[in-house]
């Protein structure tokens, strides 16, 4: 049997329960899931790459077939390096579709051996995004139910300029 390796790329700034749900489900489908934090210069992230990798690794310790990494450059090159044949993306609403469809077709053009598989969000997380979580946290709101207590502590530390304990 072939080893089925899937890459789940994203910004994860910060990591939410919506992301964790996708990883949980992907880990049951694939032999190995590599969560790949993208170093995207077009965005101005709240958390550094190292912080996001550490944050995700901590939240996924119960999933033995999940590893966390980061990548610079093209996702297709990273996937190839990791011998992955599948890219996983989450779909929350129709509004996600157009961009995701374009990315999937672009990645397939760049590497025809790579397929994108979409996992549909659970309805309870379909409204949830990292940017909404950042907005709430920045205004001192309660993010319980959106992110884990660990990520909530990271957020609170960011907005009060303290360093959280990892």
Main-chain dihedrals φ then ψ at residue 28, nearest 5 degrees: -85, -20
* Residues shown for the chain: 166
Give the residue from 63, 14, 5, 65 showing the smallest Cα distance to 37: 14
Whether 92 is a known active-site residue: answer yes
Q: Which residue is nearest to ligand ADP (CB)?
A: 18
Whether 129 is a known active-site residue: answer no
Query: Which is the catalytic residue, given 11, 38, 130, 148?
Result: 130
Strands 32-38, 5-10: pairing is parallel
Query: Which is the catalytic residue, given 43, 83, 124, 162?
Result: 43
Q: Are 155 and 130 in contact (CB under 8 A)?
A: no
Minimum gap (Å) between residue 146 Cβ and ligand ADP: 9
Minimum gap (Å) between residue 131 Cβ and ligand ADP: 8
Q: By the criterion CB under 6 A, which residues form the site for ligand ADP?
A: 10-12, 16, 18-19, 22, 89-90, 92, 96, 121, 125, 128-130
- The C-alpha atoms of residue 15 and residue 154 are separated, in whole angstroms, by 10
Of residues 52 and 85, the one with the C-beta less far from ligand ADP = 52
Of residues 125 and 154, the one with the C-beta less far from ligand ADP = 125
Whether 62 is a known active-site residue: answer no
Give every CB contact of residue 93 below 8 A, 6+ residues apart in sequence: 126
Query: Which is the catalytic residue, given 52, 85, 89, 92?
Result: 92
Q: Active-site positions?
A: 19, 43, 92, 130
């Amino acid at each position: 049997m072939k080893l089925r390796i899937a890459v789940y790329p994203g910004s994860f700034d910060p990591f939410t329960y919506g992301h964790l749900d996708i990883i949980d489900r992907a880990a049951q489908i694939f032999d190995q899931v590599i969560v790949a934090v993208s170093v995207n210069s077009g965005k101005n992230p709240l958390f550094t790459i190292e912080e996001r990798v550490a944050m995700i690794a901590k939240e996924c310790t119960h999933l033995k077939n999940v590893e966390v990494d980061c990548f610079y450059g093209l996702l297709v090159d990273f996937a190839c390096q990791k011998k992955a044949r599948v890219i996983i993306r989450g779909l929350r609403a129709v509004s996600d579709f157009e961009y995701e469809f374009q990315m999937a077709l672009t990645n397939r053009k760049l590497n025809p051996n790579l397929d994108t598989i979409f996992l549909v969000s659970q309805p309870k997380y379909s409204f949830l995004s990292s940017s909404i979580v950042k907005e709430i946290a920045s205004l001192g709101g309660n993010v319980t139910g959106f992110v884990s207590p660990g990520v909530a502590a990271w957020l609170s530390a960011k907005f009060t300029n303290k360093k959280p304990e990892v």
